Structure formats: structure tokens, C-alpha cells
Amino acid sequence: MQRKKSPVLSSVLSLIVPGLGQVYAGSPSRGAAFFIAIAVTAILVRWRGNSLLYTGIAVAWLWNVWDACNLAQGRRLSSILPFLAIALVLYVIGWGVTEINLRRLLTDVADVKPLVSDLFQPAVFERDIEELVGEVQFESPCSDSPPAKGSPLESEPYLVLVDKTCGDPGDTFTIEGGNFWPNSRGYIWWSNLAGEMEFRVRYKGDYLTFETDEEGRIPPTTVIVQEPFAEAKDKGPQLYRVQARMRRETGPLHLSETFFLVVEKMVETVFLALMATTIAIIIAIPISFLAARNLMGGNPISMAVYYVVRTILNTLRSIEPLIMAIIFVVWVGLGPFAGVLALAVHSIAALGKLYSEAVESIDPGPIEAITATGANRLQTIVYAVIPQIVPPYLAFTIYRWDINVRMSTIIGFVGGGGIGYLLQQWIRLLMYEEAGAAVWAIAIVVAIMDYASAKAREKIT
Amino acid sequence: MLQIEHLTKIYGDGTVALDDVSFEVPDGEFLVILGLSGAGKSTLLRCINRLIEPTKGRIIWDGTDITASSGEELRQIRRHIGMIFQEFNLVERTSVLINVLSGRLGYVNPWLSLLHYFPREEVDRALRNLERVGIADLAHKRADELSGGQRQRVGIARALMQEPRLMLADEPVASLDPVLAHSILRYLEQLNREDGITVICSLHFLDLVRRYASHVVGLKDGRVVFQGLPDEITDRRFKEIYGEEAERITVA
Ligand SMILES: Nc1ncnc2c1ncn2[C@@H]1O[C@H](COP(=O)(O)OP(=O)(O)OP(=O)(O)O)[C@@H](O)[C@H]1O
Ligand SMILES: [Mg+2]
């Protein structure tokens, strides 16, 4: 470092390979920083960036030459300028890679409105549903003896065929009916004769609906003859049932089926957290002693155990519980057990580390004092060690419990049981009112648990 | 009679904390160990009850070789040696009474003690000892709620539970103000005079040494550099123990 280096050579080196001049001038770490920063940024620009961004790299590159020149003369420049140039380039790339699109954030805000409003109307209460069905039989394709047109009934809802009673798929025919609720809307359904295959008929993409008049009559409505069901293909003429269905809510509000389902799954969720936390505590306590340096120090074998345990704990801790859950779902199958295992393993790793740090930070003084009274080892542990580790163990356990309650609500997203499984399904089926009920249940339970554990924590300190 | 013979302690990192230390402590003595920080006072005291394993040398107490004992025998010896500490070493978050009772762990049924059960007479003994150090009213407070002086008195009460014949005190007053220092040392003096307990106490201040010691051992860099009566510590002797730059500090 004392001997002056040639500034020209240093500059040329840095011009060819960024950082090389700095290495030559005796500052290898600075050289490495320049090289890595410029190389990585250049690769990223090539991969995802706009060629305009090469300007930023050029600035950094030129500056790096200037820096090498100065360094050779023993002067260190502040590297704020190339740092800013590189940072700017990286943020521009980052903006693109993460597809940030502020315009959409503003223009598409309407899309989320129904979802949010459904979430705020969780399906907690519902009324009973009552349904009116009228039906008539239709044949496709036509046989020698097509069915009758049907006839109006006295007081029951009915449907009759107006023009045809049979036809090929794609043909249209007309129906009408009566004795439905007045001034209401209903849907047309199509099913096979046995009634176990059925669907709502669509017309030009929308469901085919009808509106009744003030006397509950269905005006003439055009229906398209549907394709045969797969199993009835090439079997010749078949009878189908054409139905008009109308539903409405009736009676007083009562707690919904969704509500009870959510409660049931929420109970499962809390138990999932409880089992996982308890299993973790039981296993983490002995492990924490093996991972405590102050207990394991001294002889090489116990030190080896210490390092092995620490390494395992650190590795396990770095695996997210959701990923762990995927592994256990494959192993023990879908359901809460997989979730319990995933959370338990992660918690063992996390608690093992926290507990062992609590053991490491105990004051050796009381241990010394109790040993000096002639107490045996077990007495020393009970009187000098346990009183010191119980408060931190409790605090860490409560903290872990909080995390596990939260995690258990989403572990179901990957099949680990609990309320998350329902929530994920409802979101996929666009059943946002039901999803809303689940979201509210999660929020309420997590808030209650948070409050309770905050109280518990106050007690122990 | 406690005999220390050629005691040497070399720590794992090679530090020689005690170097061929030999002296004798007749029963009933109030021996003060004097020395700079790092001289090896704590190491010496902890070798006596084997909280620290000596590297070489022997410690013989009334004919028993403490350095050769182990297991149950060592615990039997330890329960007759009380110890108090500069940092008190009480178990925080635990009541004063339990702290004091824990001094009796070497005597009571070990299994019952694990359940924190102590017989009535032991509880009475604890209360008597607390009374003796003047803090009977604090029995049910938590140790971490006490002041420094009160804590050290709990430490003494705990040591008294052992009915010790020898009391080790490692700078018992270094964390306390001068007034409290005297009051704590007076308790030790009282134990020494009235109960005939041999006291080995490490101290920093010469005034306290003159006032309480019946005999003094000076340590420097792990070696004995002075042995004699407190009055024999002249300024020149003092400088031998504490180094040339040392000034005497006076304690009220
Ligand atoms: N566990 C240990 N490992 C290594 N060296 C130690 C250890 N304990 C003490 N020592 C060293 O041994 C020497 C004597 O220490 P000791 O604590 O006995 O001194 P002391 O006279 O009690 O000092 P103080 O007045 O500061 O308490 C010191 O140099 C210290 O650094
Ligand atoms: Mg010391």
C-alpha cells in the first residue's frame, strides 16, 4: 500500500475489467464490489431492462476508472455516485419485474367492489329457501310416438308445451306455465328422465330466465333442445324433463349453515394450533438444553452435539410452515394432522432456538450459590436454573402460540386443515359472502387470542 | 484448622490465577484476603469449597482432604461451609423465604425438597435466621424487590441455614455503600465472635481490614505476598500488595 502504483495502468485495468484496477491498487474488496455491482446490473439489464439503462452502468463504469486512478495515488473517493447510478438502474428493473402498474390500481378499483361488499356481508344469517317446480317432458330426437303436451294443473305449478313435444338438438320449442309466484323471476332447468343429470339452460351465454305475470303465469318462452347427455348418445329418442324453477327466501333470519361450518372449522383451527404448540414445547425443552452453549461447552463430544442440534434447528427454521405443510400433506394426507405436524416442526425449531438462548443467558451466580450449600445436581436445577428459565420460556411460548394461531388459519390453503381450507375453496368458487364469514371468524379469533396472550404476558413479567 | 498447601489454579486459557499458595487458618479466625482485582481472591475462595477445581495442591480441613473428596462426601463438606457473594447470588423472582431455605438443601430430604416442601422446623429456622439479620418482615417478598443491603442479609441468612463452621465471603460489601458495608461486616464479626465460625473474607479497603480482620493474607498475581496481623500492614507493605501507584482510600 505504501508504494505508489501507476495511475495509468490502474485506470486501464479498470477500464477493461471493472474493479481490476482497484485490486491492482491494493484494495481487492473495493474492486470486487465494483465488479460484482457492474456485472450483476449489466446481466439484469440485458435480461429485463431497457437499453437506455446502460447509461447508468456506463456512469458507474467510468466512475470506477476514475476511482482506480485515484486509488493508485492513494486517494479514496466517496462511492456515493456510482452507488446511486447502480441503485437507480436496479430500481427501474425492479419496477418492471414486479409489474407495478399504478394505472390499473386506479382504473380497476371497481372490480374489487363486489368482493369487498360481499366480505362485509358475511353469510352468517340466512332464511330458509322455498322452491316451486313445474315440469313437462320433451323428446329428442323425435320417435314415432312423441309425448303429450301436458295440461294445466288446478293449483300446483305446471308447465306445458305450446308448439312441439319433440325435436332435434338445436331446435327451439316454446313452453308456458302457471301457478307460480306472481311477478317473480325463475330459471329453466334441463334434466334426463331419471333426474340425476341436470343443469340450468343457457341462452346466448346467460341463464335462461322467465318472469311471471301478476297471476303467476309463465308467458310463452323459447327453449333450445339441448345436446344429449354423454351416456345417452346414439341411443335413439330419449325423454327429457324441462323444468321451471323458482326460489325465494322465507321465514325469519337464522344462523346460516355457513356459520356453523365456520365455527366448526375455527374450533379445529384453534385445536390445530394448540396441538402443534404443545408438541413443540414438549420436544423443544429437552432440545434447548442440547443447543445451549453454556451447558454443552467444555468437552468436544457435547460441543459436537451442540453444533449438530443448532444446525438442524437453523435449517428447519428456514423452511416456511406452508412448505412444510405441503410435504406433510403428501406424507400423511390432507387434513389437520398434516397442519399440526408442519406447525409443530417449525415451532420446535423456533422454540428450541429461543429456549436455548434463554438457557444461555441465565445468571451462573445462583447456581454457584446453591451448589455451595451442598445441594445435589437435581436440587440445583430446581432451585437455581428453573426459576431463571421459566419466565422467558413462558414468554417465548406465548409468542409462539400467537404465531401458530395465525399460521393455523392459513395452513389449510395448502391442505393442512383448519379454516384456511374452506376459505381457499370459497375464494376459488367466488363465494365471497362465505369467504367473508371465514375472514371475520379468523379476525375475531386472532384478536381474542392476541388480547388473551397480552394479558398472560403481563402476568408473568 | 484449614490448611492450604501449594495450591495452584491454571485456567483453561492458561491464566495462572493461583501460584503455589500456602497458608493456614486456625479455627475461630477472621481472615481477610487482600488483593487487587484479578489477584486471585475469588479463585482461592472457590477452590476451598470446590466450586472451582484446583489444578495442583491440597486443601485440608480438620484432617479431611477437601481436594480429594467427591460426590456425596464433597456435598457433606460443602454444607458446613457457608458462602456469601459480592453479587449476592440470590434466586430472583423467588421469595426471600425460599432463598433462605435453599441454604438447607444439603440437610433436608432431597426428593421432598424438589417439590419445595420443607418441614416446619426448617421454616422456623429460616425465620429465626432472617430475624438474626434483622429482616424477618421481608420473608415473603420477592428477592428482586430488595435493596442491596437487604439482599446481602438474605445471603447471610441463607449461609447460616447451613450451620456452617466456616464462612467464605467473596467481597461481601463491594457492591454496598460504606454504612451498609459496616453493618454487614458486623454481622460476620458477630458470627465469628459469638458462634465461633471461622471467617475467610476477601476485601478491598484497608480500613475495613484493620477494623475487622484478625489475620491477613495478601495476594498479588496469584501469589501470597503478605501474611500477618492487620497492624503489620504498613504503607510500604500496602504498596507491595497493591502496586506502587496505589493510594489508600478511606472508608467512612
Ligand atoms: N473462568 C476463568 N477462565 C479464565 N481465567 C479466569 C477465569 N476466572 C478468573 N480468571 C482469571 O484469573 C485471575 C484471577 O481472577 P479472580 O476472579 O480470582 O480475581 P479476584 O482477585 O477475585 O478479582 P476481583 O477483585 O476483580 O474479583 C484473573 O486474571 C482472571 O482474569
Ligand atoms: Mg473476585
**Nearest CA to A324 among A386, A224, A404, A400?**
A404
**Nearest CA to A159 among A172, A169, A167, A149?**
A149
- Chain A residue closest in CA terms to B72: A376
The kind and range of the H/E element at A443 are helix A432-460
Of A3-12, A95-104, A440-449, B31-40, where does mean pLDDT reach its minimum? A3-12
pLDDT digits (tens, 9 = 90+) for A52-77: 888 888 989 999 999 999 988 888 88
Tens of pLDDT along chain B (252 residues)? 999 999 999 998 999 999 999 999 999 999 999 988 889 999 999 999 999 999 999 999 999 999 999 889 999 999 999 999 999 999 988 999 999 999 999 999 999 999 999 999 999 999 999 999 999 999 999 999 999 889 999 999 999 999 999 999 999 988 888 888 898 999 999 999 999 999 999 988 888 888 999 999 999 999 999 899 988 887 777 777 777 666 665 554
pLDDT digits (tens, 9 = 90+) for A212-226: 999 999 999 999 998
Q: What torsion do the CA atoms of A266, A267, A270, A276 make, to the nearest 10 degrees? A: -120
Count CB pairs under 8 A between chains A and B: 81
Of A231-240, A324-333, B57-66, where does mean pLDDT reach its minimum? A231-240
Q: Cα–Cα distances in Å, from A246 out to A116, A242, A253? A: 28, 13, 20
Q: How open is the CA angle A91-A95-A96, to the nearest 5 degrees?
A: 120
Contact B37, B60 (CB under 8 A): no
- Chain A residue closest in CA terms to B76: A374
Contact A221, A183 (CB under 8 A): no
Distance CA A288, CA A362 (A): 13
pLDDT digits (tens, 9 = 90+) for A110-165: 888 888 888 888 888 888 889 999 999 999 888 888 888 888 888 899 999 998 88
pLDDT digits (tens, 9 = 90+) for A261-296: 999 999 999 999 999 999 999 999 999 988 988 878
Distance from CA of B76 to the nearest CA of A (A): 6
Distance CA A393, CA A396 (A): 5
Distance CA B234, CA B238 (A): 6
Say if the Cβ atoms of B90 and A366 lie within 8 Å: yes
Say if the Cβ atoms of B75 and A391 lie within 8 Å: no
What is the fold, at CATH topology level, of the domain defined by A257-460? MetI-like fold (1.10.3720)
The kind and range of the H/E element at A432 are helix A432-460
- pLDDT in the model for residue B27: 94
Say if the Cβ atoms of B92 and A383 lie within 8 Å: no
pLDDT digits (tens, 9 = 90+) for A12-37: 999 999 999 999 988 899 999 999 99
Contact A31, A23 (CB under 8 A): yes
Distance CA A357, CA A389 (A): 10
Distance CA B233, CA A199 (A): 110
**Parallel, antiparallel, or unpaired for β B30-35 and B223-228?**
unpaired
- pLDDT in the model for residue A298: 67
**Parallel, antiparallel, or unpaired for β B64-65 and B16-25?**
unpaired
Q: Which residues belong to CATH 1.10.3720.10 in chain A?
A: 257-460
Say if the Cβ atoms of A372 and B78 lie within 8 Å: yes
- pLDDT in the model for residue B247: 61
| CA-based R_g, chain B, Å | 18
Distance CA B81, CA B75 (A): 10
Is A372 touching B (CB cutoff 8 A)?
yes
Q: Is the predicted pLDDT of residue A195 greater than 90, yes or no?
A: no
- pLDDT in the model for residue B83: 96
* Grid cell digits, residue B143: 428477592
Average pLDDT of the residues of chain A? 90
- pLDDT in the model for residue B245: 64
Is A391 touching B (CB cutoff 8 A)?
yes
- Ligand 1: residue whose CA is nearest its atom 4: B11
Per DSSP, the three-state class of B151 is helix
Q: Is the CB of B13 under 6 A from ligand 1?
A: yes
> Which residue ranges form the domains of chain B, and what is each CATH number?
1-80+165-252 (3.40.50.300), 90-163 (no CATH)
Is A117 touching B (CB cutoff 8 A)?
no
Instruction: Report the percent of chain A where pLDDT is more than 70.
Output: 99
What is A235-300 written as a DSSP string?
Answer: S--EEEEEEEEEEEEEEEEEE-HHHHHHHHHHHHHHHHHHHHHHHHHHHHHHHHHHT-HHHHTTSH
Q: Which residues of B touch A379 (CB under 8 A)?
A: 105, 110, 113-114
Q: Which residues of A touch B92 (CB under 8 A)?
A: 363, 366, 387-388
| CA-based R_g, chain A, Å | 37
- pLDDT in the model for residue A81: 86
Q: How many residues does chain B have?
A: 252
pLDDT digits (tens, 9 = 90+) for A298-320: 678 888 999 999 999 999 999 99
Distance B47 CA to ligand 1 centre (A): 12
**Nearest CA to B187 among B197, B177, A132?**
B197
Q: Which residues of A touch B113 (CB under 8 A)?
A: 379, 382
* Grid cell digits, residue B118: 420443607
Distance from CA of B109 to the nearest CA of A (A): 11
State which ligand 1 atom lies nearest to the alpha carbon of B39: 21
The kind and range of the H/E element at A222 are strand A218-224
Buried b (16+ CB within 10 A) or exposed e, A423-445: bbebbeeebbbbbbbbbebbeeb
Distance CA A133, CA A153 (A): 13
Least distant ligand from the CA of B36:
1
Say if the Cβ atoms of B102 and A378 lie within 8 Å: no
Judge if the upstream peptide bond of residue A141 is cis by omega within 30 degrees of 0.
yes
Quote the strand ranges of B185-243, DSSP E.
198-203, 215-220, 223-228
Neighbours of A393 (CB within 10 A): 21
Distance CA B216, CA B202 (A): 10
Q: Is the CB of B40 under 6 A from ligand 1?
A: yes
- pLDDT in the model for residue A295: 77
- Ligand 1: residue whose CA is nearest its atom 28: B38
CA A187 distance to own-chain centroid: 36
- pLDDT in the model for residue A1: 46
Distance from CA of B208 to the nearest CA of A (A): 25
- Which ipTM did the prediction report? 0.93
